Amino acid sequence: MLLEVAAFDPASALAAARAGAGRIELCRAAEVGGLTPPLDWVRAVTEAVDLPVMVMVRPHADGWTFSADEHAAMRESARLGVEAGAAGVVWGALRADGTIDGPALRALVEAVAPHPVTVHRAFDAARDLGEALDAILDAGAARVLTGGGPGAARTNADRLAALVRRAGDGLTVMPGGGVRARHVAELVRRTGAREVHSGASAPGSSRVDPDEVRRLRAALDALG
């Protein structure tokens, strides 16, 4: 079981890596769910840790729709991120009608290939999750980070399980959203997921709590 941990600063990324994370999602601005981090953060973290670092590409928190110019800027940010050492990109965008912006996603996938693209929880705001999943598959993304819709992943476990089945081997469905050590084993058992995502933060903080990362890792290892 792969454990991805969201880090909103370089110190948190290093703490997560030392405590047992298998992959880092690097971003900033936890209060809005994450924005594109500075390139010097990407360079510093990728040089300091020996595990994949996925860099978020999100220029603003004003909804999930972006202009053509913003999409072009995101592709450039993604390209610079992987040049700085990132293993891949985390991204998400919807059209005004609530559908995944498939052409924009395909253009991003092509811009950073062969580095993988993860679609983040913009997916959970789509008008139809099954339709959105099919669009992500068609565009060639590697995985989708999802809570199974609005709210915490553990409350949407049945919907997540259906998404895992629908994706099959073509796309990794990675549950995330309020994932904690005390319930991660049940979440995995109910969904059939092979990767999970957690902020693993201390209460009232955006900083990674190394003890929570260790507890998550131990709970996942105990699944066998």
**94 has which bridge partners?**
100
pLDDT at 218: 98
Residues of the chain where predicted confidence (pLDDT) is lower than 70: none
Structure tokens, 119: 């679609």
Question: For residue 107, which of 71, 55, 65, 54 has the smallest C-alpha distance?
Answer: 71
Strands (E), 12-111: 23-26, 53-56, 88-91
Contacts of 86 (CB under 8 A, 6+ apart): 26, 42, 46, 53, 54, 55, 115
Question: Could you tell me the residue range of the domain that residue 165 belongs to?
Answer: 2-221
Residue 100 sits in a domain whose CATH number is 3.20.20.380
pLDDT at 203: 86
- The structural domain count of the chain equals 1
- pTM score, whole prediction: 0.96
Structure tokens, 196: 């999970």
pLDDT at 107: 98
pLDDT at 131: 97
